[in-house]
Amino acid sequence: MRPSFLRLLLLAAAGAAAVYAMVFADLVLRARSAYLEGEKYMQWAAQPELKKACYEVEFAREKSRLDAEKSAGRMPEAEYARRLELERFRADENVAESSVKYAYHWYKTCAELFSPPESRWVRLSREKMKEALALWKKELDAKKIPYEDYMLE
């Protein structure tokens, strides 16, 4: 009976270690994804033409899907025009949105939701979060949009 108990104990410890390792890996990978999303938005803030190109590609993809539905006879002309106008509106709104705001929120997500463990991505996000918040405040000030600090959190 003794070796059987020891074997079960070791198996339970190995199982617990495996679960811990999987949770650790999941959190680190999620933190990396959130950090990289923040970096994408910061790059878009520095180079708005990249953001516009991305959403234009997305619009073209959706337009071709709508064109295929229309040509197959599954969509009337009025519906096509309405949905195409909606897709154009979505693309324009996405381009007009503040990239710095989204960068800040992705960095904040990484720092708050995916720690502990204190991974490389969490540390980088905490640093970049301060920079993004300062840029966002500067952007709001330039547009003369009133805000209080608690509104940005």
Closest among 98, 96, 102 to 39, alpha carbons compared: 102
Angle at the Cα of 23 from the Cα atoms of 34 and 108, rounded to 5 degrees: 25
DSSP code, position 13: H
5: pLDDT confidence band, cut at 50, 70 and 90?
confident
Amino acid at 26: D
Rounded mean pLDDT of 49-59?
97
- Contact in structure between 110 and 31 (CB atoms under 8 Å): yes
| pLDDT given at position 3 | 73
How far CA 83 is from CA of 76, 91, 92, in Å, comes to 11, 12, 14
Query: Which residue type does 73 have?
Result: G
CA separation (Å) from 62 to 46, 147, 148? 27, 36, 38
pLDDT in tens, 121-145: 999 999 999 999 999 999 999 999 9
- 3-state DSSP: the chain helix, strand, coil percent, rounded to 5? 85, 0, 15
How do residues 14-43 score in pLDDT, each as one tens digit? 999 999 999 999 999 999 999 999 999 999
pTM (2 d.p.): 0.84
Shortest CA distance to 51 belongs to which of 64, 61, 41? 41
Report the distance separating Cα 103 and Cα 40, nearest Å.
Answer: 8
